[in-house]
């Protein structure tokens, strides 16, 4: 039996490894096509490598092609799959390095092509100092550009989501003057509610990042094949390097051409076991698929390494004859801006409204440790609870050290459809070095319970 | 209407404050009798004040009697309630400072007498440098003894639970030579499984604490009214100060005398609303009550500030005409030894066995942050899951910075009776500064799932 995997990063290689764990080389041969130069790397780590917190690129690579080969997984780097023939059950790949075309038959296929940074028409320039950040090859391009470039002094980051915010900080750490352009009224507008985003903006400014909100980009100014500026209605902003943080889109063009089902988010549609819906023996996982949001029931595209790894693992277990499912997600995410930690789970106010929920919110300020214990830091927690039922719909945290990981307790509460009133009884850990006697999560639950009662 | 509260710390004052929040002074007068000198303080903070991390005693006090009085709560310090007359609905108190007896009628009574350190017959000596640690008055006695004593050089801590471990560290920080005597084979034997306790022992030894396990204490050696040593079968251990960490017992003698129901744990029995079972208008909360363990269904006595605050709040809301319940607890706890963090929730192996569960366990070692991210620290997570069903029964964590608070996500999972298999899908937060792409909690859930499958 043969398994072919398209895409050698988190999802694809997790699938391959899990299948291999269950079936030896005599029962299953595995071939992976990877367009780039690397396998099994942490794309999420790229900003930290560029910023210098991570010293070597190699540290971001969990497993090299050689290591996979030792595990009897054949990896073909620099091979781009350009066709899937479902009738003949084979894929067609271009050898990007050597040239030529390869055909590879499969019994099982894992579609794990990932996602690509969204680039407007004007941003589709090559070798001009304009970069998206998605693959390790992308990261390498930025890293070497910064190393090579004699005077990389002014960076403009377009888009204030995770990647934009993380890359802006990385550029500051590399000594550049950084401007971040965000079209909405505050950075991380899709991630957290406006007043939480305002805290992020403040932290970015204190890092020396110029944050321009409500900003529109009309195009780039280039000269001698290099970017020189970003054109906005307010004039042209000088730029030696431009980083795109406008989100990513699932790489589903190949799926569409092959008549694999693609959903409204642009991601490939799978069932709970990560089998492509309705197509026997074809699986999909990672940034190229859409998932079910467990609170709204709607399809969502959430390109994060944690989901890619889970989905790849689930696909691999099922391919290997086991049973595992990926039921969906609830939108948990976390990031860091300088020493400001930002986390969320469930739905933001905007998302809850869009889904049709009526809800109340409650925000509290408290400390990470007992107020009298050294190192206690302030944090803000906001909860969103359904009107009447009081079911927790979402939570957001902005704070300093030891704040953000509290989102996990809230994520488990959200996952289990807890009411904020039941949450006030939760037996969370308490000792002065770790929390006030009422953990901020409990204080928030109390205040949200009052809001729910007041809404009755 | 009059509310009388016996005990002015966490539980009693929370009850008083919540009742006051709902009913003004015209509708409810509130009198609190407190045996000691302080109200609303953090008993859990005492070791940190003694050790010096917290500079002033005042910082441990959340609300002084004066502040409560401003809230129309009358506090009578140094008053010990010695009788409850349920027929006449009044309490009898001794004025410890002024002498004499006070009678106070009540409509509602809150019994919040707390707990007292267990002291064997031989330890019941006064003014000899032998101390329990429960009230702020206790803490003050130790603190001033250390300040006054010319050569406090050798401390012996008897008992290796939370208080013992925390006090041992505090004594080291005060420059004493410290020996900890623990009767079981490792410290924190009631808190965590043996192999986790062994890690605590190692950390204590690296702090310079001499840890003697399987140790038995036969008595004290005293001279000139001061302790000189602790007598063990292996000889007498020199000691200038002895700290008792042998656990605490609910102060329920007064309840028993007054025919209030007291359960098998020695704690007062209440219903979900913290009303003393079967006694109208009498409530109890805090370290003097027993609670229901939500996993075993059995009564347990867990004297922790977090429960005391919750229970007091619940009693106060109900007294004030609202509705709130304290459903029970699941045994979550956390502490710190030097930079070692120790946390638990649910049942230990021993507790699960005693409750009659058949179970599997899984332990994993992983890192607090992505392995390549600066500051990543190792941690061990152990999960205990019911055989066949895979329901999470308990979790333990031992690690360094950012390890222990992960117990909260596990506590919420335990609270919701999640299976370890469902937990593998949990949408926990991920970014390189906060977790590896598989959070240690998820890795542990995966391994526990395998153990459950293997047990089928």
pLDDT tens track for B348-369: 999 999 999 999 999 999 999 9
- Which residue in the set A405, A411, A431 is minimally distant from B334, CB to CB? A431
Residue that finishes a domain, picked among B244, B269, B300: B244
pLDDT one-digit tens code per residue, A107-160: 999 999 999 999 999 998 877 899 999 999 999 999 999 998 877 789 999 999
Q: Rounded to the nearest 10 degrees, what angle do helices B305-319 and B10-22 cross at?
A: 30
**In this structure, are B343 and B445 located in the same domain?**
yes
> Active-site residue A288, yes or no?
no
pLDDT at B125: 84
Residues of A with CB below 8 A from B415's CB?
426-427
**Which residues, given as ranges, of chain A have pLDDT below 50?**
none
Residue that finishes a domain, picked among B244, B272, B291: B244
Spatial contact of B154 and B49, defined as CB atoms under 8 Å apart = no
Q: Side by side, which strands form the sheet with B219-223?
A: B219-223, B226-232, B235-238
Q: Is the dihedral of CA A436, A441, A444, A445 positive or negative?
A: negative
**In this structure, are A49 and A139 located in the same domain?**
no
Encoded tokens for B87: 């027929």
Which of A377, A412, A418, A430 to substitute to test the interface with B, most B CBs within 10 Å?
A: A412
- Residues with Cβ within 8 Å of B390's Cβ and at least 6 positions away in sequence, in order, are B419, B420, B421, B448, B449, B452
**In this structure, are A123 and A234 located in the same domain?**
yes
Within A373-423, strands assigned E span: 378-386, 392-399
Residues of B with CB below 8 A from A17's CB?
none
Residue A326 lies in a domain: no
Residues of B with CB below 8 A from A309's CB?
437-438
pLDDT at B402: 96
> Would you place residue B57 in the very low, low, confident or very high pLDDT band (cuts 50, 70, 90)?
very high
Convert A137-181 into a string of H (helix), E (strand) and C (coil).
HHHHHHHHHHHHCCCCCEEEEECCCHHHHHHHHHHHHCCCEEEEE
pLDDT at A150: 73
Residue B325 lies in a domain: no
Encoded tokens for A42: 């942490």
pLDDT one-digit tens code per residue, B103-118: 999 999 999 999 999 9
Cα–Cα distance measured from residue B329 to residue B301, given in angstroms and rounded to the nearest whole number: 10
Q: How close A217 gets to chain B, by Cα (Å)?
A: 29
Cα–Cα distance measured from residue A456 to residue B22, given in angstroms and rounded to the nearest whole number: 18
Cα–Cα distance measured from residue A269 to residue B132, given in angstroms and rounded to the nearest whole number: 63
Mean pLDDT, range B404-418, rounded to an integer: 98
Residue that finishes a domain, picked among A219, A244, A269: A244
- Residues with Cβ within 8 Å of B314's Cβ and at least 6 positions away in sequence, in order, are B273, B274, B285, B324, B325, B326
- Which residue in the set A10, A326, A418 is minimally distant from B425, CB to CB? A326
Of B397, B329, B390, the C-alpha closest to B358 is: B390
Spatial contact of B373 and A54, defined as CB atoms under 8 Å apart = yes
Residue A325 lies in a domain: no
- Residues with Cβ within 8 Å of B452's Cβ and at least 6 positions away in sequence, in order, are B360, B385, B387, B388, B390, B419, B420, B421
pLDDT at B404: 97
pLDDT at A128: 87
Mean pLDDT, range B61-89, rounded to an integer: 97
**In this structure, are B234 and B175 located in the same domain?**
yes
Residue B327 lies in a domain: no
Cα–Cα distance measured from residue A325 to residue B317, given in angstroms and rounded to the nearest whole number: 44
- Which residue in the set A42, A428, A432 is minimally distant from B370, CB to CB? A42
Of B398, B293, B397, B413, the C-alpha closest to B351 is: B293
Given A1, A44, A324, A378, the catalytic residue: A44
Spatial contact of A331 and A294, defined as CB atoms under 8 Å apart = no
Whether residue B190 is predicted with pLDDT greater than 80 in this model: the reply is yes
**In this structure, are B275 and B373 located in the same domain?**
no
Whether residue B150 is predicted with pLDDT greater than 80 in this model: the reply is no
- DSSP-derived 3-state class of residue A30: strand
**In this structure, are B86 and B146 located in the same domain?**
no
pLDDT at B362: 98
Given B21, B29, B42, B44, the catalytic residue: B44
CB contact under 8 Å between B432 and A45, yes or no, is yes
pLDDT at A254: 98
pLDDT at B124: 87
pLDDT at B200: 95
CB neighbours (10 Å) of residue B356?
A: 7
Largest Cα–Cα distance in chain A?
A: 70
Cα separations in angstroms, B418 against A412, A421, B98, B421, B449: 10, 19, 56, 8, 12
Spatial contact of B344 and B407, defined as CB atoms under 8 Å apart = yes
Cα–Cα distance measured from residue A30 to residue A319, given in angstroms and rounded to the nearest whole number: 11
Residue A381 lies in a domain: yes
pLDDT at A211: 97
**In this structure, are A183 and A103 located in the same domain?**
no
**In this structure, are B66 and B91 located in the same domain?**
yes
Q: Provide the total of helices (H) and of strands (E) in chain A, helices listed first.
A: 12, 25
Spatial contact of B219 and B206, defined as CB atoms under 8 Å apart = no
- Which residue in the set A404, A411, A432 is minimally distant from B426, CB to CB? A411
Residues of B with CB below 8 A from A405's CB?
402, 405-406, 429, 434-435
How many pairs of residues across A and B have Cβ atoms under 8 Å apart? 200
**In this structure, are A252 and A352 located in the same domain?**
no
**In this structure, are A372 and A419 located in the same domain?**
yes
- Residues with Cβ within 8 Å of B70's Cβ and at least 6 positions away in sequence, in order, are none
Domain that holds residue B285: 2-116+248-319
Cα separations in angstroms, B309 against A41, A425, A448, B102: 47, 11, 18, 28
End-to-end CA distance of chain A: 60
Total domains, chain B = 3
pLDDT at A383: 98
Whether residue B152 is predicted with pLDDT greater than 90 in this model: the reply is no
Residue A410 lies in a domain: yes
Give the CATH number, domain containing residue A312.
3.50.50.60
Which of A391, A431, A447 to substitute to test the interface with B, most B CBs within 10 Å?
A: A431
CB contact under 8 Å between B373 and A53, yes or no, is yes
DSSP string, B144-167: HHHHH-S---EEEEE--SHHHHHH
**In this structure, are B295 and B149 located in the same domain?**
no
Which of A11, A192, A429 to substitute to test the interface with B, most B CBs within 10 Å?
A: A429
pTM for the full predicted model:
0.97
Mean pLDDT, range B423-433, rounded to an integer: 98
**In this structure, are B258 and B232 located in the same domain?**
no
């Amino acid at each position: 039996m043969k398994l072919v995997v398209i895409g050698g990063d988190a999802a694809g290689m997790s699938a391959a490894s899990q299948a291999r764990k269950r079936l030896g080389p005599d029962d299953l041969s595995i071939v992976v096509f990877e367009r780039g130069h690397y396998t099994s790397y942490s794309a999420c780590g790229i900003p930290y490598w560029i910023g210098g917190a991570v010293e070597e690129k190699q540290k971001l690579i969990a497993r090299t092609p050689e290591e996979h080969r030792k595990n009897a997984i054949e990896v073909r780097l620099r091979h781009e799959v350009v066709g899937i023939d479902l009738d003949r059950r084979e894929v067609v790949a271009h050898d990007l390095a050597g040239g030529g075309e390869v055909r590879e038959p499969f019994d099982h296929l894992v579609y794990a092509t990932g996602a690509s940074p969204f680039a407007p028409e004007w941003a589709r320039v090559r070798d001009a100092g304009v970069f998206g950040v998605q693959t390790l090859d992308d990261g390498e391009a930025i890293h070497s550009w910064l190393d090579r470039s004699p005077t990389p002094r002014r960076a403009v980051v377009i888009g204030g989501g995770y990647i934009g915010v993380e890359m802006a900080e990385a550029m500051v750490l590399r000594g550049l003057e950084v401007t971040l352009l965000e079209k909405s009224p505050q950075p991380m507008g899709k991630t957290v509610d406006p007043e939480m985003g305002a805290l992020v903006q403040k932290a970015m400014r204190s890092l020396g990042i110029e944050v321009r909100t409500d900003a529109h980009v009309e195009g780039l100014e280039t000269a001698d094949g290099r970017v020189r500026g970003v054109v906005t209605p307010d004039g042209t902003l000088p730029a030696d390097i431009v980083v795109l943080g406008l989100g990513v889109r699932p790489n589903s063009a190949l799926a569409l051409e092959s008549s694999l089902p693609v959903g409204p988010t642009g991601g490939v549609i799978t069932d709970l076991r990560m089998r492509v819906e309705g197509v026997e023996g074809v699986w999909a996982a990672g940034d190229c698929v859409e998932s079910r949001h467990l609170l709204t029931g709607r399809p969502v595209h959430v390109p994060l390494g944690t989901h890619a790894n889970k989905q790849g693992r689930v696909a691999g277990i099922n391919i290997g004859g086991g049973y595992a499912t990926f039921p969906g997600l609830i939108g948990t995410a976390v990031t860091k801006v300088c020493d400001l930690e930002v986390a969320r789970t469930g739905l933001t106010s905007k998302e809850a409204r869009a889904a049709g929920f009526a809800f109340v919110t409650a925000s509290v300020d408290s400390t990470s440790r007992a107020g009298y214990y050294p190192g206690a830091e302030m944090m803000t927690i906001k909860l969103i609870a359904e009107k009447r039922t009081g079911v927790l719909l979402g939570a957001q945290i902005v704070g300093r050290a030891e704040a953000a990981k509290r989102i996990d307790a809230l994520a488990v509460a959200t996952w289990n459809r807890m009411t904020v009133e039941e949450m006030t009884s939760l037996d969370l850990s308490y000792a002065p070095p770790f929390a006030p006697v009422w953990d901020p999560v409990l204080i928030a639950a109390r205040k949200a319970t009052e809001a729910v009662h007041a809404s009755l």
